Amino acid sequence: MVAAPKSGSGKTTITCVLLQSLKNNGMQVVSYKCGPDYIDPMFHERVLGIPAKNLDTFFTGEEQTRELFLKNRTDEEFVVLEGVMGLFDGLGGTREEGSSYHLAKVTKTPIMLVVDAKGMGRSVIPMIAGFLAYDTEQLIRGVLLNRMSGAYYDRIRPLIEEELQIKVFGYFPERKDMVLESRHLGLVLPNERKDIQKKLQNAAQEFVKTVSLEKICQTAEQAEALAGGSDRKAGISSGTAYDTETTQGWKTCCMEMDRAGKKDAPVIAVARDEAFCFYYEDNLRLLQEYGARLDFFSPLHDQALPERCHALLLGGGYPELYAEELSRNLQMRKAIKQAVSQGMPVVAECGGFMYLHSAIRDREGTEHPMAGVLTGVCADTGKLVRFGYMELEEKQSFFLPRGEHIRGHEFHYFDSTDNGEDCLARKPVTERSYSCMIEGENYCLGFPHLYYPSNPSFAKAFVEKAAKYQKGTE
């Protein structure tokens, strides 16, 4: 696991460069991201050419998280987990559950602590010492010093290893060309960064000069074995590479995943392009495991929905950045409104929810017409509206058995004039609750991002509704 004392330490950069270095070394590499994050896994995908997954002990508990970790894995694979926030930061910033450390404990994964050492001298030693003292499972097996000069590294490394009895894997100098810029929902997407793959390749060549890949691999080999077996019956081989940055790449990927499925299976049309790109890989796999076929399309570029589709999945993303282009695609807006009005099942989260409104109002006050399925308007509030984990329970059972809940998170600056009141959301630490979501027999629409494995009944119900619609139309 690549973890750090705090956010902004360079975990994503180091993870991507490490992935590239391992790949260059001929290793079969797979990756995971700890916590509810969509963008960091996109960077992993850009390096490896295969989908990355998320693991979260709040979403799925200890046993199920281990099962998801082992699923479709083999002993030949080198697995890299990227942590989230600070190593011990979990629910509410105070609990262990949901933290990088909890995930490392559950999966018995050795930790490489990435320390942003810029502006620090000997003070880096007591800081590392504090983390080692708090590591009750002794999972921190090495340190990487980020943004440090080679000259100072040669002086500080012997002191760290002598005083703390911890391996120092190396250092990585500051590289302004590898700074990953942020925006209101996280990092700027990898396909928006010019020459990202060339820069990663160049950085990887420098990485192996200052970091001991051999020590990292030796440490990884010391990971304790986990009980459980590999199950490759579902999904694509982790060694199969696809261009997952494009809609066509995802169509190819899903054709591979659907080969074992029935040709007469219900088809869920999944919006995937620059505006709609926030999807958990395990959500998509679960829909397939329950019998659905996935067909990806672009609300930005396509003029019509995929032929013979029986449900719609509109994920999150950045529709506000492409509001003008989405608005200009009148044919797609009409097609989606018509499909929903005819009873086609639809699940829409955050950005997808915004797209279904009558309009999105930008920061300049201009309203861009959207699909018009909902009468409300979405507008930028200029601040974070809702943030963090939540549990969602339906007031009337449509997608979940009565009394059950599904877990997810919210993270959005835009808000709607009508967020709905058909579900009850509860915060796990404060237990504060509020109404949200617009739901009915065939639709579930709202800002929350749901993690289907936390309650697979949701995915099963969605596929069953798609099958019912298919039967009624064909």
298-338, pLDDT tens digit by residue?
Answer: 999 999 999 999 999 999 999 999 999 999 999 999 999 99
**What is the tally of structural domains in the chain?**
2
Which residues constitute the domain of residue 346? 247-473
Q: What's the confidence (pLDDT) of residue 380? A: 92
Average pLDDT value for residue range 247-265: 54
Starting from the edge strand earliest in sequence, which strands make up the sheet with 293-297, in order? 293-297, 267-271, 311-314, 346-349, 443-446, 438-440
Q: What's the confidence (pLDDT) of residue 197? A: 84
Query: For residues 31 and 52, what is the distance between their CA atoms, to the nearest angstrom?
Result: 5
Average pLDDT value for residue range 402-419: 95
Domain contains 120: yes
Answer yes or no: do 133 and 20 share one domain.
yes
- The angle at the Cα of 451, spanning 290 to 321, to the nearest 5 degrees, equals 110
Model confidence at 41: pLDDT above 50? yes
Q: Using alpha carbons, select from 59, 49, 53 the residue that is nearest to residue 23.
A: 49
Domain contains 366: yes
Residue that is last in its domain, among 174, 205, 221: 221
Question: E strands along 230-366, which residues?
Answer: 267-271, 276-278, 293-297, 311-314, 316-317, 346-349, 359-361
Binned at pLDDT 50, 70 and 90, residue 193 comes out as: low
Pick the more confident residue, 362 or 421: 421
CATH number, domain containing residue 157: 3.40.50.300
329-349, pLDDT tens digit by residue?
Answer: 999 999 999 999 999 999 999
Domain contains 226: no
CATH number, domain containing residue 426: 3.40.50.880
257-296, pLDDT tens digit by residue?
Answer: 444 456 789 999 999 999 999 999 999 999 999 999 999 9
Answer yes or no: do 256 and 202 share one domain.
no
Domain contains 229: no
Answer yes or no: do 263 and 192 share one domain.
no
Q: Which of 350, 423, 436, 444 is catalytic?
A: 350
Answer yes or no: do 7 and 124 share one domain.
yes
Model confidence at 240: pLDDT above 60? no
Answer yes or no: do 317 and 435 share one domain.
yes
Mean pLDDT of the chain: 90
Answer yes or no: do 201 and 288 share one domain.
no
Q: What's the confidence (pLDDT) of residue 246? A: 45
Is 350 one of the catalytic residues? yes
Domain contains 201: yes
Report CA Rg, the chain. Answer: 23
Answer yes or no: do 210 and 266 share one domain.
no
Do 148 and 118 contact (CB within 8 A), yes or no?
yes
Do 180 and 8 contact (CB within 8 A), yes or no?
no
Answer yes or no: do 258 and 210 share one domain.
no
Residue that is last in its domain, among 221, 238, 267: 221
